[in-house]
Structure 1
Amino acid sequence: MTDASPDAARKKSLVLAAIFLVAVTIPISFTGPAVAIPAIGADLGGSVAALTWIVSGFMLAVGSSVMLGGALADQFGRKRMFKIGMAGFTIASLAIGFAPSVLVLDLLRGVQGVSGAIALSAGFAALAQEFEGPARTRALGLIGSGFGIGIAFGPIIAGGLIATLGWRAIFFATAAAGVFILAVGAPRLSETRDPDATRIDALGAASFTAMLVSLIFAISEGPSFGWGHPLVIGLFAAAGLLFVAFITIERLVARPMLDLSLFTYARFVGIQALPVAVAYSFVVPLFLLPIRFVRVEGMSELQAGLMLLPLSAPIAIVPFLAAHLARRIPAGLLASGGLLVSAAGIVWLAAIPPGAAPLAFMAPLALAGIGAGIPWGLMDDLAISVVPKERAGMATGIFGTMRVAGETVAVAVVGAVLAAFVAGALPAAGIGTMDELALAVASGSFEEAARMAPHLPAPAFAAAYGTAFRLTMLIAGGITFAAAVVTFVALVPRPVRRRRRGRRMLEIEA
């Protein structure tokens, strides 16, 4: 019987508040520092590649560790791994605030990302044990809102801290949040584990991490080295071989990190399409638009932040509302409908040319944000609901991996695609550094592009960027639409006609 006493309700509220704060803090930790890169570079120096890994390295560490975190939580206990993960995250955040060089900072960001992934997986799995039924749906909807708040408002929060206290304050603030979570929320978690768990799938974890690292490096370095460069080809080949190795290992081990049999269920496959769609319909614009607003449209950082509000603000509200609507409307129907709305917003955004009035962005951004916010509040609960309760750690690990790794891959892919479209749209430059020129234009550095190709007229750079942005957004919208179709087919109950005793009877497919 569920304990409905005031003390039990207070305990559950504190647990929910702690994990909500984790859901806010972890995404702030990879969107916020993106704003701090110029300040960090001015203070510590470092190459462009080293500074880029301040964000990319953290995202990669989280994406490659979330699944492992779920497996660790299943075997050693959700509460124990939550405390270990949060302790590591807090110590790493504090140490980053004192980092003497970019190299040290990058290494500590990796530690911070792995620790945060373990805490996130264990926290989500622990939450699934604390709440049941509609209460669990509402709780996970609130957590989805927290994740959205962190991603959406991380750059704004970081900008305010940088302006008042300096870039190191970002990491001191996340360390303070970690101390609060450890002091208030962690002690109130109930210790649970999977009684059937035996040992960690070390080979599976190693092969998956190496595969993801190789893939991200290949995609990230392709535009600068060239897609035919031996290093890039070798990285793609290594990623492919490691993927085959990972699948083989998971088929052979007795207790795999990833239960491949889950992919035989249409509902499970449909759920994995949700974070991929949100990555392209929300995270990708969130990363691309600040560059466009500041460097192409000529806005200030404050104006750019305000321009993003129609996209980011719905993520803080809509997921919680969607969780409540799911009590009356099938979650699959809500999620697929939201993705269609988001896809429409992205396609509309693609049609806005450089130099358009700021108001032209408001409606498409609002559509994209509202549409992405609907599945955001549903997919955590859906991910857990398709597996037995005692394997909640695996469910959250797989889903968290798809979410964070999908976002990491999406950002890398879109950056490479944008640069490729820029190269195709630019007139023949007559220089030997066409890849570098395309990267400069894709990043909005038109002044640098003009120095590299002084014979090209200035409007050519804006025109090439506009063409590339439009085509890239159309691809993102197409991926979102395809995910909406997959979600509808896999998750929405639909009538099936069968003959029984000579009569046609209408049944609802489970």
Structure 2
Amino acid sequence: MRWWTLGVVALGTFMLMLDLSVVAVALPAIHESLDSSFADLQWVFDAYALTLAIFLVVAGSLADRLGRKKVFQIGFVVFTVASLACGLAGDATALSVFRAVQGAGGAIMFAVGPAMLSHEFHGRERATAFTVFGAAVGLAVATGPLIGGSLTSALSWRWIFYINVPIGIAAIIVGALRARESRNPQAPPIDWAGLFTFSLALAALVFATIRAPEEGWTSPITIGLYVFSAVFLLLFVAVERRLGDRAMLDLAFFRNPTFVGISLVAMVGNAGALPAVFFETSYLQNMLGMDAWQAGLRFLPLTVAMFVAGAIGGSLIGKVPFRYLLGGSTGVMAIGLLFLNLTEADSAWTVLIPSLVIAGFGMGAFNPARAALAIGVVEPAKSGVASGINETFQQVGVAVGIAGVGAFFQHRVAQSFTASEAGQAMGPEAAEEASHAISSGAVEAVAQGAGPLRDEVLAAGQDAFMSAFHGAMTVCAILGFIAAVIGFLMLRTKDLHYSALSNIPPEVDADGRVVTQERSDAPVGAAS
């Protein structure tokens, strides 16, 4: 049964992570089909990442009490139905709304999947399971552009969502028949007050960051949303302290430096990784003139590197201290992203290969270790909530990273183009409007509409795009280096809750409770 569980969890994880990256290569087709703006395109990404972040802890908390298999299946159903709705969407607003629903279903699967694996697998088999889980995450991110490009070019952008439906139905049936149920019978009643205050605080935080570039970082709306988020976060902490053992979130988790460290590494590292994929795809299509299939094909070096590194990284769990696995992998990713500064508007696509291979190796090695450590610092009965918290930090990083790096990119494009001779010749208002179109990749269209200034506008637009691209990728690399420093400084082997990730499995009953309370404080693999 447990291998069927691994298969269903890995497939569900692959699909939900695929829908983060698969959209990137289809954005030009979506832009043309739905007549959407750059902000609309960001929302297609961020609506999914927003609800993915909001519902992760909620899902983990409910799963521990109601049953992990049951909640996982519900998430799969929501994800599959929403995927169909995304494919049928008639405008950008409807697509973003259905993407938000899809993200809620994905959140449930993402939060509960690792907890199901933790219940089913122990010792060496657990390391194997999390290797497969991490490989599914990495493979989805890496193959997203290729799969998206294939479907978009051969059929339509809508098929990047339709493809989820038959696969989802098959996985739901297999899960219902083959996966085993598990829960924590000692879980407290559902903490509705905590769920409400936490969800509002997180929603306001991410929404404010997404809207700030358009509204202004110091606008009343942006400041109001951040204040709203802070107030409800304080209310959430107060509620959880008052409830004590009945709270959905054990605040004692955050007294563990390693738990805090892996949460921050997941957030900051993903804030740099996913925006890089987004903008690399834009570079291939908008600067080098490739279609969706051609752009996706160029990501094969990333795909191979992530797949190989995921297998290697998973095999090192329990042998190498986590600070080296996670600090090293995010550092390697950051180095790879710096190589993107070698690109030019007329470069051959092969200039991307060093970055794709090096960054891909770092990303691939990161995923299995992150997933394993996130639940390795808590007792098995609380693995659902722990996994949900870590995935929440990860998806907040994705949402905030895309919004923040996107805002930086837009600002740099506008600053560069309006300051150019071509921009000044067009006039302030026309240059500002043109810069928004250039940010969306419509450099050729802007130049065609410039009349006698066509050649000057084309050159200035390309320069503005590349300057912003280099700056954005440097920001992503800096985020990767920050994540590496956090990993090296805060992750400690001695904080692992039992020997759950070593080759000495704890004895766990059918409800996920540890029977053998013997604790191993010996370092896993090496001293740290």
Residue matched to 1:132? 122
Please, which moves more after superposition, 60-69 or 253-262? 253-262
Residue matched to 1:26? 16
Q: Please give the alpha-carbon distance, in whole angstroms, between the structure 1 residues aligned to 2:340 and 2:174.
A: 43
Do the aligned residues in 2 keep the contact of 1:36 with 1:162 (CA within 8 Å)? yes
TM-score by length of 2: 0.84
Do the aligned residues in 2 keep the contact of 1:281 with 1:368 (CA within 8 Å)? no
Do the aligned residues in 2 keep the contact of 1:137 with 1:378 (CA within 8 Å)? no
Matching residue within 61, 71, 86 for 2:61: 71
Q: Please give the alpha-carbon distance, in whole angstroms, between the structure 2 residues aligned to 1:435 and 1:230.
A: 23
Do the aligned residues in 1 keep the contact of 2:149 with 2:296 (CA within 8 Å)? no
Residue matched to 1:462? 462
The 3-state SS of whatever aligns with 2:177 is helix
Residue matched to 1:208? 198
Do the aligned residues in 2 keep the contact of 1:152 with 1:315 (CA within 8 Å)? yes
Structure 1 unmatched runs, 5+: 1-10, 495-506
Residue matched to 1:360? 351
Matching residue within 79, 83, 98 for 1:89: 79
Residue matched to 2:213? 223
Residue matched to 1:490? 490
Matching residue within 428, 433, 440 for 1:431: 428
Match of 2:81, as an amino acid? I
Residue matched to 1:407? 398
Residue matched to 1:250? 240
Residue matched to 2:309? 318
The 3-state SS of whatever aligns with 2:303 is helix
Q: Please give the alpha-carbon distance, in whole angstroms, between the structure 1 residues aligned to 2:55 and 2:452.
A: 46
Matching residue within 272, 295, 298 for 1:307: 298
The 3-state SS of whatever aligns with 1:176 is helix
Q: How does 1:40-55 map to 2 (within 5 A)?
A: 52-55=42-45
Please, which moves more after superposition, 444-453 or 401-410? 444-453
Structure 2 unmatched runs, 5+: 495-522
Q: Please give the alpha-carbon distance, in whole angstroms, between the structure 1 residues aligned to 2:437 and 2:92.
A: 23
Match of 1:59, as an amino acid? A
1:443 aligned to 2:432? no
Distance apart, 1:264 and its partner CA:
1.8
Distance apart, 1:192 and its partner CA:
1.6
Matching residue within 142, 163, 166 for 2:156: 166
The 3-state SS of whatever aligns with 2:428 is coil
Residue matched to 1:501? none
Q: Deviations over 1:54-99 (max 9, x none)?
A: 3321221111111111001011111111122222222333344444
Do the aligned residues in 1 keep the contact of 2:301 with 2:357 (CA within 8 Å)? yes
Residue matched to 1:379? 370
Q: Please give the alpha-carbon distance, in whole angstroms, between the structure 2 residues aligned to 1:246 and 1:434.
A: 46
Q: Please give the alpha-carbon distance, in whole angstroms, between the structure 2 residues aligned to 1:331 and 1:449.
A: 49
1:60 aligned to 2:57? no
Specify whether residues 51 and 439 from structure 1 end up closer, same or farther in structure 2 by C-alpha distance, changes over 3 A only.
Answer: closer
Q: Please give the alpha-carbon distance, in whole angstroms, between the structure 1 residues aligned to 2:431 and 2:393.
A: 34
Q: Please give the alpha-carbon distance, in whole angstroms, between the structure 2 residues aligned to 1:441 and 1:57.
A: 23
Q: Please give the alpha-carbon distance, in whole angstroms, between the structure 1 residues aligned to 2:478 and 2:458.
A: 31
Specify whether residues 96 and 344 from structure 1 end up closer, same or farther in structure 2 by C-alpha distance, changes over 3 A only.
Answer: closer
Distance apart, 1:269 and its partner CA:
1.8
Specify whether residues 389 and 493 from structure 1 end up closer, same or farther in structure 2 by C-alpha distance, changes over 3 A only.
Answer: closer
1:110 aligned to 2:100? yes
Match of 2:441, as an amino acid? G
Distance apart, 1:37 and its partner CA:
4.8
Please, which moves more after superposition, 316-325 or 73-82? 316-325
Do the aligned residues in 2 keep the contact of 1:281 with 1:372 (CA within 8 Å)? no
Matching residue within 315, 320, 325 for 1:334: 325
Do the aligned residues in 1 keep the contact of 2:285 with 2:291 (CA within 8 Å)? yes
Please, which moves more after superposition, 231-240 or 125-134? 231-240
Residue matched to 1:499? none
Match of 1:221, as an amino acid? R
Residue matched to 1:498? none
Q: How does 1:232-243 map to 2 (within 5 A)?
A: 232-243=222-233
Q: Please give the alpha-carbon distance, in whole angstroms, between the structure 1 residues aligned to 2:327 and 2:374.
A: 15
The 3-state SS of whatever aligns with 1:377 is helix
Q: Deviations over 1:332-351 (max 9, x none)?
A: 21221222221111122234
Q: Deviations over 1:438-488 (max 9, x none)?
A: 433333322455558986643222223322222222222122112112111
Q: Please give the alpha-carbon distance, in whole angstroms, between the structure 2 residues aligned to 1:409 and 1:239.
A: 14
Among all aligned residue pairs of Structure 1 and Structure 2, give the percentage whose two residues are the same amino acid: 33
Specify whether residues 483 and 347 from structure 1 end up closer, same or farther in structure 2 by C-alpha distance, changes over 3 A only.
Answer: same
1:268 aligned to 2:259? yes
TM-score by length of 1: 0.86
Specify whether residues 443 and 313 from structure 1 end up closer, same or farther in structure 2 by C-alpha distance, changes over 3 A only.
Answer: farther
Please, which moves more after superposition, 142-151 or 447-456? 447-456
Specify whether residues 37 and 463 from structure 1 end up closer, same or farther in structure 2 by C-alpha distance, changes over 3 A only.
Answer: closer
Please, which moves more after superposition, 139-148 or 313-322? 313-322
